[in-house]
Each structure stands twice: as structure tokens, then as C-alpha cells.
Amino acid sequence: MTATPQQLADVLRPVKHVLLDFDGPVCSVFAGLPAPEVARRLREGLFATGEQAPAGAAEETDPLALLRLVSNARPDLAASADAALAALESEAVRVGRPTPGGESVLAACVRFGRAVSVVSNNASAAIDAYLSAHRLSGYVAGVFGRTAGDPSSMKPNPRLLLEPMAAAGTQPAECVFIGDATRDVEAGNAARVPTIGYANKPGKQEKLASAGAVVTVDSMQLPPLLPW
């Protein structure tokens, strides 16, 4: 069930540092350049005609899953695959769709003196490009994208959450993570940070809740509910 305003306020009240997933809570990265098209272009750029791609690569339509698959099967390609995907993500965000309420959450955090760090499996360069194009960079204390060439850095690994907490000197109990995937909740659990599940598609609410999200919401239009 979507959190009541009271439940959400209870979760947010002690928070000094908001960790915010990018694809979903801030924008829909692949709304204009669809993920399967990005995966296809990534694959075609990496594997010349006739060259054998790793098992499963031909069918993979999720660009980040494809990056992980290729990097695991062909470590020699990990760096070039990451760079190629980062370029495609940067192209995608130019035609990405802002999430209603996402910008207001960023602005409200800053207005009320809460730090915001973006924590994402996407490439930092693409995130920076989006934030800059939408004049949002000033709201964000830091951008923590996947480590280039190292897909093991991606959530559900908690590393991308631990880095901004170390940079800001904040403890898990002073933080909240807002994400829209079960891997986000798993990363939050591993970092001991409570996760608000953003259920932006039918069926996600149950998945996020059973993964351990402390509350779930079905909209990013939170500012009227912020307790600060």
C-alpha cells in the first residue's frame, strides 16, 4: 500500500542526506531512445559482423544487464563497453522524460537544508549532462554513477550508497534512499539505509515492499508531504 503522509513523514523526519536513484525518480532515461535500441547499438558497436558475442548477449534488451554480461564474459571489453554505453546514455538523456515531481524533490531538499546525492547504475557523465541541461546541478551535492569498466560497482552492491555517505560524513540512520527497483532496496539494505520504494509501474509496489522498502510511494510529488 502506498505510504500515508504520516508514514512518509516519519521516515523522512530524521533524514539529513537524501540518496536518490536517477532513472525512475528523476527521469525516465530511455523514454525517447528505448532501452532495447540502446542495447542493440551497444552490441553492434562491440561485436563486428560475424564475431561471436557472449551467450545471451543477442537477446538482452536491458543495456545495463548487457554491460554486465559482456564485461563478465569478456573482461577485455569491459572498459570499451562501458565507454560505449556511457555515450549512448548521454544521447538517451537528451530525449529522456523528466519524472513529475522529481525536480521538486531536489529543490525541496535544498530549500530545507538536506543534501542530495544521486546514486545510479548509469554513467556519471550522462547524469551530469541531464542535470546540467535541466539546470538541476546546483541542487545536487554529488553524482555517484557506476565505476567505469567495473559493473560489479552497480547496485545491488551498496558501494554507490557508501561513497556519498562517506563524502558527506553522514550515517545510515541520517539517510534515506529513494529508488524504483528491487536492486535499489537490496543495496539500501546492504548499506543499512532505509529505502523508499518508488513504484512507478503496476506490480512494483509488492516487489519493492517484499524486498524490504520501509514505505512505498506511487508518485514523486512528495514536497507537500515533507515534514521538514
Quote the least distance from Cβ 18 to Mg ion, whole Å.
15
CB of 183 vs Mg ion, minimal distance in Å? 8
CA distance 103 to 221: 9
Q: Kindly list the residues in this chain that would bind Mg ion in the complex (CB under 5 A).
A: 21, 23-24, 180
Q: Nearer Cβ to Mg ion, position 35 or 226? A: 35
Nearer to Mg ion, 46 or 194 (CB): 194
| Minimum CB distance to Mg ion smaller for 46 or for 131 | 131
Alpha carbon of residue 118 to chain centroid: 7
For Mg ion, the nearest residue by Cβ is 24
For the beta carbon of residue 122, count every other beta carbon within 10 angstroms.
25
Q: Residue 185 or 214: which CB sits closer to Mg ion?
A: 185
Q: Closest approach of Cβ 195 to Mg ion, in Å? A: 12
Please answer whether residues 154 and 23 qualify as being in contact, where contact means their C-beta atoms are separated by less than 8 angstroms.
no
Q: What is the 3-state secondary structure (H, E, C) of 79-109?
A: HHHHHHHHHHHHHHHHCCEECCCHHHHHHHH
Q: Identify whether the C-beta of residue 145 lies closer than 8 Å to the C-beta of residue 127.
A: yes
Q: How far is the CB of 59 from Mg ion (least distance, A)?
A: 22
Tell me whether residue 46 or residue 185 sits nearer to Mg ion (CB atom): 185
What is the closest distance, in whole angstroms, from the C-beta atom of residue 189 to Mg ion in the complex? 16
CA dist 21 to 46, 98, 184, Å? 28, 13, 8
Q: Say if residue 67 is exposed, middle or buried (CB neighbours under 10 Å; 0-12, 13-18, 19+).
A: buried
